[in-house]
Amino acid sequence: MSKKAIVLSSGGLDSTTVLAMAKDLGYQCYTLSFDYGQRHQAELLAAERISQAMGVVEHKVVALDLRSIGGSALTDDKISVPEAATSGIPVTYVPARNTIFLSIALGWAEVLEADAIFIGVNAVDYSGYPDCRPEYIKAFQAMSQLATKAGSEGRTIAIRTPLIELSKADIIMQGYALRVDYSLTVSCYQADEQGRACGKCDSCRLRRMGFLDAGVEDTTRYV
């Protein structure tokens, strides 16, 4: 029987690399994206075209209204996206986002009887997000065993984080080895309607430096 995996897809560089890695490991992949009130729709359009290009079994978009609680530059237009390096937890952190996303992915994984959930969290270039740390993933894995029918029956839905200890350059090199087309991806926190990157935000800086360090062409479309 073929292995099934839910792959969280933001339309960005990391999640697209994770999708390629999951497919390379032989999983039948189902991509899951969230329309959560983020600043732009370009990343959702990117996730859709990436899912089509990479031949997933199904691509699902779940609508959530995280703007109703705000607290992040990505969900509150009154908070500006920073264009200078900052320390600590940045204002682009969306409160409890990965916990919400992983919980919904866990539910879909139970319905599909999937073997794994793949998420592109990274603890090296993670920009200060507390829900991208290995100890967080370990805790969520433990919770999933207690909270699900699958866990109560002794079956594990593995939370897979293949990028968690890689640098951005390492991630890009892995993706290039798997023939990922990064021109399809959108990583920018404030991309325009055409999906072109600002080149100034924290996500753009990390992405641009990753291509430089990897020594490969940056195919990102900038404003």
Residue pLDDT, tens place only, 50-106: 999 999 999 999 999 999 999 999 999 999 998 877 778 889 999 999 999 999 999
Asked if 208 contacts 34 with a C-beta cutoff of 8 angstroms, the reply is: no
Closest CA to 94 of 61, 126, 119, 69: 69
Domain ranges in the chain are: 3-214
Question: Tell me: the pLDDT tens digits for 169-191?
Answer: 999 999 999 999 999 999 999 99
Query: Strand 58-63 and strand 116-118: pairing?
Result: unpaired
Cα separation, 92 vs 74, in Å, equals: 6
Cα separation, 134 vs 52, in Å, equals: 30
For the whole model, what pTM was predicted?
0.94
pLDDT value at 20 more than 70? yes
Cα separation, 191 vs 184, in Å, equals: 13
Where do the DSSP E strands lie in the chain? 3-8, 27-35, 58-63, 116-118, 158-160
Mean pLDDT in residue range 186-198: 93
pLDDT at 127: 63
pLDDT at 193: 87
Cα separation, 38 vs 45, in Å, equals: 13
For residue 74, give the 3-state DSSP assignment. Answer: coil
Asked if 149 contacts 110 with a C-beta cutoff of 8 angstroms, the reply is: yes
CATH architecture, range 3-214: 3-Layer(aba) Sandwich (3.40)
